[in-house]
Amino acid sequence: MNPTFPYAGRTYSYDPAAPIDISLPLAPGPNQVNCFWAEPVEFDTIRVGSFVGSVALGGSTNYQRIHVTPHGNGTHTECYGHISPDPAVTLNQCLRRFLFVARLVSVAPVPQANGDLVVLLADVQAALAQQPDRSIPEALVLRTLPNDEAKRQRHYSGTNPTYIEPALAEWLVEYNVQHFLLDLPSVDREEDAGQLLAHHAFWRYPAQPRCGATITELIFVPDEVADGLYLLNIQITSLELDASPSKPVLYALNAQLDPGIYFGR
């Protein structure tokens, strides 16, 4: 039997042998997703005296140093330390649980008068209303449309990529969504004079910081993964930083009980 997970008065099963990895890998070279002018990921072979950290070059083991910028290279998860001057506010301290019920929605951004592409609250609400179970769990996964494979290797720097309107971030807080995952470089505009309105709204910073809340950017959800309810596992490294390279993984949830449609909070 598959394990079960309780949510909103119902019991769901999931198959732990059928993970859906929605992260983008960290690999060296220029053909990887990149944003905010970050340098490409680099893997450097360690050399100490006669030792070389490469089996291919004659060493006994592979031993490498990694150069990576979490906010600019690949999938990453961040906490409110991203916009706080306090170095003690780290993702490793803020994220203490790793399994959550998540809802995946797909939404097309809307062109604005200034030429920007923005994901609007009304469109997210409309997408949620089309799902049979309209409850809003702890995590929301946003897939923007059209969903093309180029997202896996796109260089976003200087392109003014799609972002969300701050009202969406405020609404997520209203419904106590703790974890927001999206396939964009940022919830905010690439250049906004440092306002970071959606970041501040989602974390309620500085008035009431939401320590346990996270934003995960630069994910990729394949087309074959349907909108709906999933079990989400957010995997991070134990770096004491405001952000970490991450590996969010989804598991499809299948209802085992049917006490009726749950209409949310």
What is the CATH number assigned to the segment(s) 4-26+70-255? Answer: 3.50.30.50
Q: How confident is the model at residue 262 (pLDDT cuts 50, 70, 90)?
A: very low
Contact criterion met (CB below 8 Å) for 107 and 80: no
Tell me whether residue 31 is exposed, middle or buried, using C-beta atoms within 10 angstroms of its C-beta: 0 to 12, 13 to 18, 19 or more.
Answer: exposed
Alpha-carbon distance of 207 to 224, in angstroms, equals: 41
Amino acid symbol at 74: G
Contact criterion met (CB below 8 Å) for 202 and 166: no
**Predicted confidence (pLDDT) per residue in 180-228, tens digit:** 999 999 999 999 999 999 999 999 999 999 999 999 999 999 999 999 9
Q: How confident is the model at residue 265 (pLDDT cuts 50, 70, 90)?
A: very low
Alpha-carbon distance of 216 to 181, in angstroms, equals: 5
Q: How confident is the model at residue 258 (pLDDT cuts 50, 70, 90)?
A: low
> What percentage of residues in the chain have a pLDDT greater than 90?
92
Q: How confident is the model at residue 257 (pLDDT cuts 50, 70, 90)?
A: low
pLDDT value of residue 191: 97
pLDDT value of residue 256: 87
Tell me which residue has tokens 């002018």: 37
Residue 252 belongs to what H/E stretch?
strand 243-252
* pLDDT higher than threshold 50 for residue 237: yes
Main-chain phi, psi angles of 167, to 5 degrees: -60, -30
Model pTM? Answer: 0.94
DSSP letter assigned to residue 38: P
> Which position has the higher pLDDT, 8 or 185?
185
Q: How confident is the model at residue 135 (pLDDT cuts 50, 70, 90)?
A: confident
**Predicted confidence (pLDDT) per residue in 86-100, tens digit:** 999 999 999 999 999
Alpha-carbon distance of 158 to 175, in angstroms, equals: 33
Q: How confident is the model at residue 132 (pLDDT cuts 50, 70, 90)?
A: confident
**Predicted confidence (pLDDT) per residue in 22-33, tens digit:** 999 999 998 999
Contact criterion met (CB below 8 Å) for 247 and 235: yes
For all residues of the chain together, what is the average pLDDT? 95
For the residues 113-126, what does the mean pLDDT come to?
98
**Predicted confidence (pLDDT) per residue in 56-80, tens digit:** 999 999 999 999 999 999 999 999 9
Q: What number of residues does the chain have?
A: 265
* pLDDT higher than threshold 60 for residue 155: yes
